[in-house]
Amino acid sequence: MPPIIVRPKRSNPLALAVLALLFERPMHPYEMAATLKERHKEDSIKLRYGSLYTVIDILVREGNITPRETLRDGRRPERTVYELTPAGNVEMREWMRSLLKTPVKEYPQFEAALSLLGALPAKEVSQLLQKRIITLQEQAESTRATLTVAQHHGLPALFSVETSYHLKLIEAEIEFVHELVAQIAHDGCGWLPQWKRFHKERPAPDASDLSAPAPAKPPHRKPGSKTGS
């Protein structure tokens, strides 16, 4: 009976980035991090040096990458150069195909807040969403500027496609939040009278209540100990 191969869980985009970088050429970890930053990929993939070395160790253990050579440049610490293995090449391609082909359920924090919208008064929700629109508009302008710079330097659109995607998401969210604010003002998404009554019956905590000292805890006594008279 052939051995059962247990594939690693594909949950860390940084691991995929390492595989993709080593598909280009062998690199040491510092070069991997520098390349991701130079290409602004840390905007899409969370990058920390500690996490990077952990990911590299896991990929080596799984046989997806392997050390190629160790270099020393002057007084700098030794740097291990890694290369992609045939198994890593297969893993990278299958992982990419899966991500591009199959939508997966993600849990954005804004979506979580929307699912619990009634926990704040309708008027406050509208005010907060209007502030969000301002921040989103600033993000959109910054993202457009990044794309303009990339185009000015002749960077092919292939290498900034995630930035274009991010801009579309921001623009779509701005449109959605505008519509949501208008809907809340009109009828509270079909629940405005109940929404107002709900918070009238449950007033917000007073600031003085928040600053009051917590009640003292009763003294801890061992089981069987006697209290004083």
Percent of the chain with pLDDT over 70: 86
Token output for 219: 């003294």
Residue after which a domain boundary falls, among 101, 118, 150:
101
- Candidates 184, 85, 79; CA nearest to 128 is 184
- Candidates 85, 139, 147; CA nearest to 110 is 139
What is the SS3 assignment for 153? coil
Identify whether residues 145 and 67 lie together within a single domain.
no
27 pLDDT higher than 90: yes
Averaged pLDDT for residues 36-43: 92
CB atoms near residue 56 (< 10 Å): 22
Lowest mean pLDDT across 6-10, 53-57, 73-77? 6-10
Is 91 part of a structural domain of the chain? yes
C-beta separation of 85 from 64 below 8 A: yes
- Bigger pLDDT: 72 vs 25: 25
- Candidates 106, 125, 124, 113; CA nearest to 180 is 125
Is 174 part of a structural domain of the chain? yes
**pTM value > 0.85:** no
181-211 per-residue burial string, b: 16 or more CB within 10 A, e: under 16 = beebeeebeeeeeebeeebeeeeeeeeeeee
DSSP type of residue 86: H
Q: Which long-range contacts (CB under 8 A, 24 or more apart) does 79-86 make?
A: 79/28, 79/29, 79/30, 80/28, 80/29, 81/26, 81/27, 81/28, 82/22, 82/26, 82/27, 82/28, 82/29, 82/56, 83/22, 83/26, 84/19, 84/22, 84/23, 84/26
pLDDT tens sequence across 64-113: 999 999 987 767 778 999 999 999 999 999 999 999 999 999 999 999 99
* pLDDT of res. 229: 40
Indicate which CATH number applies to the domain containing 40: 1.10.10.10
Structural domains counted in the chain: 2
* pLDDT of res. 208: 66
* pLDDT of res. 9: 65
* pLDDT of res. 105: 92
Identify whether residues 24 and 57 lie together within a single domain.
yes
Identify whether residues 130 and 75 lie together within a single domain.
no
Measured CA to CA, the distance from residue 56 to residue 68 in angstroms comes to 13
Residue 227 pLDDT level (bands cut at 50, 70, 90)? low
Measured CA to CA, the distance from residue 121 to residue 128 in angstroms comes to 11
C-beta separation of 122 from 195 below 8 A: yes
The C-alpha R_g of the chain, in whole angstroms, comes to 27
Identify whether residues 93 and 120 lie together within a single domain.
no
* pLDDT of res. 75: 72
* pLDDT of res. 11: 86
Residue 188 pLDDT level (bands cut at 50, 70, 90)? very high
* pLDDT of res. 20: 98
* pLDDT of res. 5: 45
Identify whether residues 196 and 117 lie together within a single domain.
yes
* pLDDT of res. 98: 96
Residue after which a domain boundary falls, among 68, 101, 134:
101
Q: Which amino acid is at 218?
A: P
2 pLDDT higher than 60: no
Full domain range(s) for residue 43: 13-101
* pLDDT of res. 223: 58
* pLDDT of res. 209: 63
Measured CA to CA, the distance from residue 12 to residue 52 in angstroms comes to 11
Identify whether residues 78 and 116 lie together within a single domain.
no
